[in-house]
Amino acid sequence: MPRRHGLKEIRWDVGGDNNTPARNAVGSQVPVALHENGPIPDPNRLQSTSTRRPRFMTWNSQYLPQHNSVAHPQKVYASSYVITRDELPDFR
Instruction: Give one DSSP letter per residue of 45-84, joined into a string.
Output: HHHHTT---S-EEE-SSTHHHHHS-SHHHHHHHH-TTS--
pLDDT for 43 equals 92
Does the global pTM surpass 0.95? no
Which tens digit of pLDDT belongs to each residue from 4-62? Answer: 666 666 555 555 556 667 667 767 666 667 777 788 889 999 889 887 777 787 877 77
Nearest-CA neighbor of 1 among 19, 21, 25, 17?
A: 25
Q: Where along the chain do its domains lie?
A: 2-85
